[in-house]
Chains A and B, each alone.
Chain A
Amino acid sequence: MKTAREWKKYFPVFLMLLLAVIPAFVTGNYYRTVCCQAMLYAIVALGLNFIVGLSGLMTLGTAAIYGLGSYVSALFCVKLGWNPWAALIPVLISGWLIGKGLGYPSLRVQGVYLSLATIGFNEIVRNLLTNLEWTGSGTGIRNIPVYEIGGFAFDTQIRSYYLIYAVLLLFIVIAWKIVNSRWGRAFKAVKDNPDALEVCGINIANVKITAFTLSAIFAVVAGAMYAHFNRYITPATYTTDLSISFVVMLIIGGLGNFWGCIYGAYIVAFLPQLLRPIGLTYKLIYAVIIMLLVVFFPNGIFHDIRRYLGLHRVLKKGGEEG
Chain B
Amino acid sequence: MSILLETKNLTKRFGGLEAVKDVNIQVKEREIHALIGPNGAGKTTTLSMINGTLRPTAGEVLFLGQEITGKPTYVVANLGIGRTFQNIKQFGSLTVLENLMVGGMSHYNKGGVLHMLLHMKETRHMEEAVEEKAKEILSRIGMEAFEKEYAGNLPYGRQKVLELGRALMGDPRLILLDEPAAGLNPSERAEFVEILKNVYESGIDLFLIEHNMDVVMNISHRITVLNFGRQIAEGTPQEIANNETVIKAYLGDRFSEGKNRRG
Decide if A and B are genuine partners: yes
- Give A contacts to B, CB under 8 Å: 174, 177-178, 181-183, 185-186, 188-189, 191-193, 195-204, 210, 214, 256, 315-320
Tally of B interface residues using CB under 8 Å: 41
- Give B contacts to A, CB under 8 Å: 51, 53, 72-74, 77-78, 82-83, 85, 89-94, 98, 101-103, 105-107, 109, 112-113, 116-117, 123, 126-127, 130, 150-153, 163, 166-167, 169-170
Known: A182-B109, A185-B102, A214-B113. A199 touches B83 (CB 8 A): yes
Contacts of A204 in B (CB 8 A): 74
A183 near B91 (CB under 8 angstroms)? no
**Cα of A174 to Cα of B130 in the assembled complex, Å:** 22
Residue of A nearest to B110 (CB): A182
Contacts of B166 in A (CB 8 A): 196, 200
B106 near A202 (CB under 8 angstroms)? yes
Instruction: Tell me how far the C-beta of A218 lies from the nearest C-beta in chain B, rounded to whole angstroms.
Output: 12
Closest 10 CB pairs of A and B: A318-B152, A318-B92, A201-B106, A201-B77, A196-B89, A319-B152, A318-B93, A192-B91, A201-B78, A198-B73
Instruction: Tell me how far the C-beta of A48 lies from the nearest C-beta in chain B, rounded to whole angstroms.
Output: 16
Number of A-B contacts (CB under 8 A): 111
**Cα of A183 to Cα of B111 in the assembled complex, Å:** 10
Known pairs A185-B105, A188-B94, A210-B112. 5 more at Cβ < 8 A? A181-B127, A188-B93, A196-B91, A201-B105, A319-B152
Known: A181-B123, A200-B170, A318-B153. A186 touches B102 (CB 8 A): yes
Contacts of B123 in A (CB 8 A): 181
Interface residues of chain B: helix, strand, loop or mixed (majority)? helix
Instruction: Tell me how far the C-beta of A11 lies from the nearest C-beta in chain B, rounded to whole angstroms.
Output: 20
Contacts of B51 in A (CB 8 A): 199
Contacts of B89 in A (CB 8 A): 193, 195-196
23 pairs, A vs B, C-beta closer than 8 Å: A181-B123, A182-B101, A182-B109, A186-B102, A192-B94, A193-B90, A196-B163, A196-B166, A197-B91, A198-B53, A198-B73, A201-B74, A201-B78, A202-B102, A203-B72, A204-B74, A256-B93, A316-B150, A317-B93, A318-B92, A318-B150, A318-B151, A318-B153
**Cα of A153 to Cα of B49 in the assembled complex, Å:** 63
B150 near A188 (CB under 8 angstroms)? no
Instruction: Tell me how far the C-beta of A237 lies from the nearest C-beta in chain B, rounded to whole angstroms.
Output: 29
B152 near A199 (CB under 8 angstroms)? no
B127 near A182 (CB under 8 angstroms)? yes
